[in-house]
Structure 1
Amino acid sequence: MITGIVRSSVRQYVVRQLTKPHSACFVNHRMFSSHENVLEKAKERLSQLTEDPGNEAKLKLYGLYKQATIGPCNTKKPGVFDLVGQAKWNAWYRLGDLSQVEAAEQYSQYVSDLVGEVSSAAKSDTTPVNYQDLLVNDTKGVRIITLNRPSKYNALNYQMYRDLIDAFSSAASNNNVNAVVLTGTGKYYCSGNDLTNFAPSDSLTPQEMASAARLLLRDFVDSIIDFPKPLTAAVNGPAVGIAVTTLGLCDLVYCSERATFHTPFMELGQSPEACSSFIFPKIMGYSKANEVLLLGHKMTADEAFANGLVTRVFPDEQFEEKVKEIVDQIGSLPPMSLRKSKELIRGLETSFLKDVNDKETLLLEERWQSEECFNAIMKFMQRKI
């Protein structure tokens, strides 16, 4: 990601390295002033680039500029170990006998194409939507999604699920967003599902409610499985249920030392979700995963770290500062390299995870309609009153 000072320095570097006239170039440049203005105007447009155009584009610009200012390549090919020098030499040499005037015109046209592509991409990228219970902020190429329902401990209602799907979808298609960080407001990261989601409806039958809930949960989990960019969870406090299970689908998980991780599925007459039936045994081993998923064992931050669910634990008073450092670090890394590497690491499991998600949500649909689940939820809610 190229932002701030880095973006400015890269832009200056591209312009300086690809268009600076060397002493030999100046002599020839003055000899064909007929296209001097073409090159100068192209150099001015090149300064409008706000992102690194990539090595292929930079090499093409380099070759065309050398051809336009000097003519056909007249230098010896660099040694075999000078890989950068060889790449630049090849970009110039392959232009053959292309005239300086034609090279200048091609250089100018290519600069216009590059600037136009960036401008079009910028216009197509939309600013974050203001959601009711989510805060979405794009900073330095990283989208920070904050669950913002602190009075309910950031419990997820149906609308928050829909909004999270939308926030992930728009981040995936936004060229200015290279990674996402998910966190929470207040003392909790997320207390799981808002149990009012299970309240009877006057307009829907229990079967219709269960089916709609299954599809929404399936689509939400799929949106995380399919998310093509690095996804980091910054767990600022206790996490419950879906807030715990989705951590296994994140690429990095950082938490405060006061965070806890609790999945009381059996207590609520339900079953695992968000592919935790596969991922938790994979990272924790069957014995520990069963203790967490079947017995509802609440893990501490250190325990979650020891069992592979969490990447690192930070002292609570340093958590925000450390998360900011992580955001800045992610923002400084090459975005396409991050995406391609994530695809390599996760890609082989994507279809399988979606199958697991489908099976889990089908079982949950069945459980939600059972008398056992209804009685367990009523007992839990009465205990909370």
Structure 2
Amino acid sequence: MNLHSSVKRKLGEDKGYVFDKRLRYNVRQNESNCRFRDIVVRKEEGFTHVLLSSQTSDNNALTPEIMKEVCRALGNAAADDSKLLLLSAVGSVFCSGLDPSYLIGRLSTDRRKESSRIADAVRDFVLAFIHFKKPIVVAINGPALGLGASILPLCDVVWASERAWFQTPCAALRLTPSGCSSYTFPQILGVALTNEMLFCGRKLTAQEACSRGLVSQVFWPTTFNQEVMLRVKEMATCSAMVLEESKCLVRSILKSVLEEVNEKECQMLKQLWCSTKGLDALFSYLQNKVYDN
């Protein structure tokens, strides 16, 4: 009788523990989502999942406000018990880079002040990736353009759907390189292909990006999410210390170089946006885009 009672009590305690764990998990989920507008943050078992899900821009384009939300999410994941971070996106586009409409709207009001503010936001956004000590896994479900593609070498594992493609048409967008791509792209892709991407807007397919080392693996679109989650969950079973120390060994030697490159790139963007020619070039780009449509 006593044994039966203790077993029942133990089962009740276990159920209560599971319920309490689920309740705390749901509370954390709700608290995370309430704090963000343009991204979704999910606290999973062993990792944090950040999804770009912009409500204020098209095609998950980046604005200073969105970049600040991503920085906050990375800061939270760095401080909690997450072993790694998964970055992905909602919709058919991973990220279309800096929003040109936003740039023109803000730079037209106060060019000097806004150029500094936006360039500083880009700098801090890129620094958040450079300084993040835990592994960052990126799942590219669709097109990644501009800054959305430039940050990929700052991440540790990049998986892409067959539908994904990559483009950094800096010259066409009237922008100079960002996201440390002026350094990382030549290192990974070679100078010739980097120049073609930056100056000519060369578009890389997922398979091309994989063969050149920008992407680790390419998966079929219909099973992409399942393949990613399976591998991320497996990574999350590893030792947190081993993951972090392994990343440190691979990345630490490049940290100061990337910081310097990021600073120079953002200074160049600031100068460009502060100039009349830079603003006129953005206007010209948007006008051409309207006529093309």
Distance 1:376 1:202 in 2: 12
Partner residue in 2 for 1:155: 61
Distance (Å, rounded) in 1 between the aligned partners of 2:60 and 2:154: 20
Contact 1:267-1:376 at 8 Å conserved across structures: no
1:212-238 deviation per Cα after TM superposition (whole angstroms, max 9, x unaligned):
111111111001000000001100000
Of 78, 88, 92, which residue of structure 2 is paired with 1:183? 88
1:369: Cα distance to partner?
2.2
Q: Deviations over 1:169-205 (max 9, x none)?
A: 111011x211001111111001111223213449962
Aligned pairs for 1:59-138 (under 5 A) are 128-130=32-34, 131-138=36-43
Which position in structure 2 is the counterpart of 1:26?
none
Deviation at residue 284 of structure 1 after TM alignment: 1.0
1:341 corresponds to: 246
Deviation, 1:314, is 0.6
With a CA cutoff of 8 Å and minimum separation of 6, indicate the structure with the bigger relative contact order.
2
Residues 64, 122 of structure 2: 8 Å contact kept: no
In 1, the alpha carbon distance for the partners of 2:289 and 2:49 equals 32
Q: Please give the secondary structure, in 1, of the residue aligned with 2:51.
A: strand
Counterpart pick for 2:219 among 284, 289, 314: 314
1:270 aligned residue: 175
TM-score by length of 2: 0.84
Pick from 152, 158, 167: which aligns with 2:73? 167
Larger Rg: 1
Mapped partners of 2:146, 2:217: distance in 1: 20
* Cα drift, residue 136 of structure 1: 0.3
Q: 1:202 to 1:356 in 2, by over 3 A?
A: closer
Aligned to 2:101: 196
Aligned residue pair count: 263
User: 1:371 pairs with 261, 276, 285, which one?
Assistant: 276
In 1, Cα distance between equivalents of 2:79 and 2:189: 33
- Whole-angstrom distance in 1 between the partners of 2:243 and 2:182: 27
For 2:76, the aligned partner's letter is S
- Check 1:173–1:357 CA distance in 2 against 1; reply closer, same or farther (3 A cut): same
Please name the residue that 2:146 is paired with: 241
**What percentage of aligned pairs have identical amino acids?**
34
Alignment RMSD: 2.2
Instruction: Quote how far apart the aligned CAs of 1:359 are.
Output: 0.6
Distance 1:140 1:311 in 2: 24
CA distance in 2, matches of 1:172, 1:148: 21
Cα gap change, 1:359/1:202 in structure 2, threshold over 3 Å: closer, same or farther? Answer: closer
Which whole-Å CA distance do the structure 1 matches of 2:113 and 2:88 have between them? 32
Q: Which runs of 5+ in 2 are unaligned?
A: 1-16, 18-27
Measured in 2, the distance between the counterparts of 1:301 and 1:202 equals 34
Q: Which amino acid in structure 2 is aligned with residue 282 of structure 1?
A: Q
Contact 1:268/1:373 (8 A) holds in 2: no
Separation in 1 of the partners of 2:133 and 2:33? 20
Contact 2:107/2:114, CA 8 A, preserved across alignment: no
Q: Residue type of the partner of 2:85?
A: V
